[in-house]
Amino acid sequence: MWGFFQNRGYYQFTIGFTTQTLTNDGTGSALASFLLGMPVVRQRQAGVPQMNLRQWYADGFAQDTWRITPSTTINYGVRYEYMSALWGVTYTNSNLDLSTGVPQPFIGGQNGYPRGLMYPNGKNFAPRFGLAQTFGSLGLVLHAAYGVFFTPVDSVTTFHTSSRRRHRATTTPQPPQSGTITSDNQCSAKRSSVSRQ
């Protein structure tokens, strides 16, 4: 991680770049893992142990500070974030297409479906606004701020959809006495085109 600051006159520029590779290797000590910024939660799963997931994430921002009076400062800006969905390099992510009324299993990246099971949102513009007012005679400073923030894709949900070996959908209609419909015994003549592994 690196950063750059240049401050001359009333202008301030800053840029930065970060990268992180998560190997999920703990230290064996919850306190040491916490201090090193490593995950402290582990889970065991059945199925494919190595999911080989990928994701594109990019962001940028522009901001400015305006000193209205010697005691009042406004800070404003906008941030843009692009987060793609997590996708597996082996295209084993699976989900259900509910748009037809009959749940159909599909595999990401095949038959026109997005490889990460959802289309990325390209509208993640996040405005920021801040205000600082000093009360010199009292020695007080009032700070107020507003911002919009976007949460990255929930990886646990993606892990659960990508660790399945067989792509199979099961739907239990209500009431349950009406039976169970699966991708193997659908009532229609059209069979699922999802490949088996």
pLDDT (tens digit per residue) in 51-84: 677 788 888 899 999 999 999 999 999 999 988 8
pLDDT confidence of residue 88: 75
Domain positions in the chain = 52-182
pLDDT confidence of residue 90: 74
pLDDT confidence of residue 16: 60
Round to whole Å and give the CA distance between 21 and 189. 47
83: three-class secondary structure by DSSP: strand
23: three-class secondary structure by DSSP: coil
Q: What contacts 129, CB < 8 A, 6 or more positions away?
A: 74, 75, 76, 145, 146, 147
79: three-class secondary structure by DSSP: strand
pTM above 0.85, yes or no: no
Which regions in the chain score pLDDT beneath 50? 1-9, 11-12, 162-167, 169, 186-197
Q: For the chain, state the CA radius of gyration.
A: 25
Round to whole Å and give the CA distance between 116 and 84. 8
CA distances from 98 to 103, 115, 125, 126, 169 (A): 5, 17, 29, 31, 11
pLDDT confidence of residue 151: 76
End-to-end CA distance of the chain: 41
pLDDT confidence of residue 112: 80
Note the residue count of the chain. 197
pLDDT confidence of residue 184: 54
User: Residue 120 burial (CB < 10 Å; 0-12/13-18/19+)?
Assistant: middle
Structural contact between residues 105 and 194, judged by C-beta atoms closer than 8 angstroms: yes
